[in-house]
Structure 1
Amino acid sequence: MPANTRHRRETKWFPSVWRLCLLAGLCLPLTGCTEDRMTLNLVGHNHTNRSIYSFGVNEYGGGYLGAHRGGGGHTCCISIPRAYRPGMTVTVWWSDWGGENAMERIVEVPRYGPDEGGAFAVHFLRSGEVKVFVTMMGYWHPNYPLKGEDAEL
């Protein structure tokens, strides 16, 4: 085989390999952008005198919460980062029957560990505050994060 023919064959594939390596190099940083997440049941607790027709957290919706009721119905599912980030917030939204009196509030998520993920609990308190917790404990458990008068339904 003449020398110049062999050279043309070897250099013919070189631009294809170079493009493939460049493409792989550009995609490599994207693999680090995926965040490890955990899926939790969404549960609501209404400590107020008014029924809540619907509620939700970010794009995840919950169901009906009667006045002074909650905890019985878990909605599947809500996805949050497995690793807690200081200052992490969620948007909690709710409304009366027929979507009247729609409200939303940005609520800070208290610190949680990756092994605490059982439910994402939302509490609508009599004071007008909204509190959220990531917890493995049921509402009745003595170590449940909400205590005192706030915890009374």
Structure 2
Amino acid sequence: MKLSDYPLLVACLTALLLLTACDEPEQWSAGDLEGYNHTLEGINWFEVNDQGPGIIGGNSCCIGLPNKWRPGLKAHVVWEVDPAPYAEFPSYKSGKFGEAYARHAANYKRYSRTVDIPNYGDEKCGLTVHFLPCHQVKVTASCFTFQHPDYPVKEPFQQKEPAVCPK
């Protein structure tokens, strides 16, 4: 028996080998996880896809992203908000700090959103999360710095909540 006697079998085996060779595992690498708060509330912590915690206004390690962007890539962002980030507390020595802090912390709220990760092409630089009014978020893997004119998120900081949030 020679393989040349079975051209259909040879074609099927060749196709199977080619398909198997193309099915490489997705390659991932780590990058910084960073956040910017555009609201008047305090962001105590956040995480993306169960990775974090991220730091507002600074980098923390790490977030894993595929080396090649693909359609359907999502970021599930969970964060905790302090609605009164500038509240004053009694001194620790007074013995009333713990109770006052517990009352304050009872007002913390947690939110979550799942958003698309925009196409980052061949170059990614970690993931940056922007917290916006109405408990919305935008994410980017841009390598431009926040101040660069080509940075994709342009919303201003210190935004007040609108009277009615869009649905």
Runs of 4 or more above 4 Å deviation: none
| CA deviations over 1:38-76 (Å, ceiling 9, x no partner) | 2110000000111011101011113453xxxx3xx1011
Contact 2:33 2:54 in 1 (8 A): no
State the shift of 1:87 in Å.
2.3
Equivalenced residues, count? 116
How far off its partner does 1:132 sit?
A: 0.3
> Are 1:105 and 2:113 matched, yes or no?
yes
Q: Which residue of 1 aligns with 2:77?
A: 92
Listed as ranges, the gaps of 5+ residues in structure 1 are: 1-28
Q: Is the 8 A contact 2:111 2:135 kept in 1?
A: no
1:87 aligns to what SS in structure 2? coil
Q: Secondary structure at the match of 1:114?
A: coil
Alignment of 1:54-93 (within 5 A): 54-65=45-56, 70=57, 73-93=58-78
In structure 2, relative to structure 1, the CA distance for the partners of 1:126 and 1:119 (3 Å cut) is same
Please state how far the C-alpha of 1:103 moved relative to its aligned partner: 1.1
User: Match of 1:46?
Assistant: 37
Deviation at 1:90, TM superposition (A): 1.4
Question: 1:127 Cα shift?
Answer: 4.1
Contact kept, 8 Å, 2:37 with 2:157, in 1: the verdict is no
* Cα separation, 2, equivalents of 1:105 and 1:44: 15
Identity %: 35
Specify the alignment match of 2:143 in structure 1: 136
Structure 1, residues 3-45: CA drift from partner, whole Å, max 9, x if none? Answer: xxxxxxxxxxxxxxxxxxxxxxxxxx7xx56311121100000
Pairwise CA distance, 1:119: 2.7
Whole-angstrom CA distance in 1 between matches of 2:110 and 2:134: 17
Shift in alpha-carbon separation, 1:121–1:64, aligned structure 2, 3 A = closer
Q: Normalised by the size of structure 2, how large is the TM-score?
A: 0.61
Is the 1:44–1:62 Cα contact (8 Å) retained in structure 2?
no
Distance 1:42 1:64 in 2: 7
CA distance in 1: counterparts of 2:152 and 2:55, whole angstroms: 23
Whole-angstrom distance in 2 between the partners of 1:82 and 1:63: 21
Paired residue for 2:125? Answer: 118
Q: What is the alpha-carbon distance in structure 1 between the residues aligned to residue 130 and residue 122 of structure 2?
A: 21
User: What is the letter of the counterpart of residue 127 of structure 2?
Assistant: F
Unpaired runs of 5+ in structure 2?
1-19, 83-104, 159-167
